[in-house]
């Protein structure tokens, strides 16, 4: 199973990023979906998804797996809230997704589902948090930035190592996130065609940017 993860984890053909700011979190992704990171299947895939009023997610892996995971995740969060009469915290939401990944990847399957996820949200006390969930189910709180396991990760992290500042604002984070995705698109054949950026603050979730990138031929 570990060999299967290592073979597929960097072949998801996507670029996502989450950036922790002093007044919130910014999450962004490209729009390209590919087959094996080589053939472009869609140029309009929306990879940053708001699952409810307080949580937004973005995933790496097979598109169909990501979509199914996120639908189940949203339903499980709602079910948990109905059962307990209490809204789950962002940490609880991330741990729920981690448990889903942990159980699924250890189930015997001809085609294992390998999905990584960034999860951001705001709690009822106004705090905003970002978590990364690795394909094997590990859950980690992000204190600065993360790009999970997308094919554009090396380019994104390389840029952030030089340009990220601890006291960055959400407004600055939005622009930095755009640059991260653009940087990945320039070098990663599995990423491209557009950028979607969301912010999460104590006031709620907001779509900050939706840009189409059209190839220029000379």
Catalytically active residues are 14
3-state secondary structure of 132: strand
CA pair distance 61, 96, nearest whole angstrom: 18
**Cα dihedral 166, 187, 213, 32 in deg (nearest 10):** -100
CA pair distance 157, 118, nearest whole angstrom: 15
Place of tokens 């600055």: 172
- Where are the extended beta strands (E) located within the chain? 16-21, 24-30, 33-35, 39-42, 48-50, 55-61, 115-122, 128-133, 139-141, 145-146, 194-201, 204-212
CA pair distance 23, 168, nearest whole angstrom: 8
């Amino acid at each position: 199973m570990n060999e299967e993860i290592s073979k597929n984890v960097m072949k998801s053909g996507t670029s996502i990023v989450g950036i922790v700011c002093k007044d919130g979190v910014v999450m962004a992704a490209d729009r390209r979906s590919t087959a094996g990171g080589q053939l472009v299947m869609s140029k309009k895939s929306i990879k940053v998804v708001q699952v409810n009023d307080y949580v937004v997610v973005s995933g790496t892996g097979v598109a169909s797996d990501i979509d199914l995971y996120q639908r189940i995740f949203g339903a499980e969060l709602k079910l948990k809230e109905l059962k307990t009469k209490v809204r789950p915290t962002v940490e609880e939401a991330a741990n729920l997704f981690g448990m889903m990944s942990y159980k699924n990847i250890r189930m015997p399957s001809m085609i294992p589902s390998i999905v990584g996820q960034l999860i951001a949200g705001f709690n009822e006390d106004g705090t905003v948090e970002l978590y990364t969930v690795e394909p094997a189910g590990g859950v980690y709180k992000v204190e600065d930035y993360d790009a999970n396991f997308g094919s554009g990760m090396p380019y994104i992290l390389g840029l952030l190592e030089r340009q990220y500042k601890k006291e960055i604002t959400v407004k600055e984070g939005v622009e930095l996130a755009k640059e991260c995705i653009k940087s990945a698109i320039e070098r990663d054949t599995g990423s491209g065609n557009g950028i979607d950026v969301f912010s999460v603050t104590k006031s709620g979730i907001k779509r900050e940017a939706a840009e189409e990138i059209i190839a220029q031929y000379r």
